[in-house]
């Protein structure tokens, strides 16, 4: 399966916790079963990898967030870096081209698009 994980935005919705320097998807606010806190991007990435370890997964983001993604997900994660911010649709198209041109995805393969900020599993305690 091909998955594009959108991780962008300026982080103004959780201000003052998040801002242009530290976007909301990198703040460690979710507690795992083992007590360790993780960010939105870490949680979604972990959940997808657990569900489908063989998925072709790339993160679409801007230049300013590449370092944070590597710090939180490691250097093995596939990243499609947008040349400039242009909102959701251009990010999806650019990441789709990256999947096809750089990673060899067939043009007839399905692509699932998720946003880091909206995907999470709610668990009752």
With respect to residue 124, please indicate whether it lies within any of the assigned structural domains: no
With respect to residue 39, please indicate whether it lies within any of the assigned structural domains: yes
Band of residue 122 on the pLDDT scale cut at 50, 70, 90: very low
Band of residue 74 on the pLDDT scale cut at 50, 70, 90: very high
**120 close to 30: Cβ distance less than 8 angstroms:** yes
User: Which letter, b or e, does each residue of 13-23 get, where b requires 16 or more Cβ atoms within 10 Å of its Cβ?
Assistant: eeeeebeeeeb
Is residue 123 scored above 60 in pLDDT? no
Number of domains in the chain: 1
Q: Whole domain around residue 94: which residue ranges?
A: 2-115
Q: What is the pLDDT of residues 54-73, one digit of tens each?
A: 989 999 998 888 999 999 99
Band of residue 13 on the pLDDT scale cut at 50, 70, 90: low
Q: Which of 17-21, 43-47, 77-81, 91-95 has the lowest mean pLDDT?
A: 17-21
Band of residue 21 on the pLDDT scale cut at 50, 70, 90: low
CA distance 30 to 97: 32
With respect to residue 19, please indicate whether it lies within any of the assigned structural domains: yes
CATH of the domain at 91: 3.90.550.10
Angle at 79 between CA 76 and CA 82, to 5 degrees: 160
Q: How far is CA 64 from CA 22, 46, 53, 68, 84, in A?
A: 10, 22, 27, 8, 10
Is residue 125 scored above 50 in pLDDT? no
With respect to residue 120, please indicate whether it lies within any of the assigned structural domains: no
With respect to residue 68, please indicate whether it lies within any of the assigned structural domains: yes
CA distance 83 to 113: 19
């Amino acid at each position: 399966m091909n998955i594009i994980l959108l991780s962008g935005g300026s982080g103004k919705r959780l201000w003052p916790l998040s801002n242009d320097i530290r976007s909301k998807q990198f703040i460690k606010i979710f507690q795992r079963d083992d007590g360790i806190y993780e960010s939105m991007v870490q949680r979604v990435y972990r959940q997808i990898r657990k569900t489908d370890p063989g998925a072709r997964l790339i993160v679409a983001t801007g230049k300013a967030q590449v370092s944070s993604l590597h710090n939180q997900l490691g250097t093995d994660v596939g990243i499609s870096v947008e040349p400039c911010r242009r909102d959701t649709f251009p990010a999806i198209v650019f990441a789709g081209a990256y999947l096809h041109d750089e990673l060899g995805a067939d043009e007839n393969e399905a692509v699932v698009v998720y946003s880091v900020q909206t995907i999470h599993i709610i668990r009752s305690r």
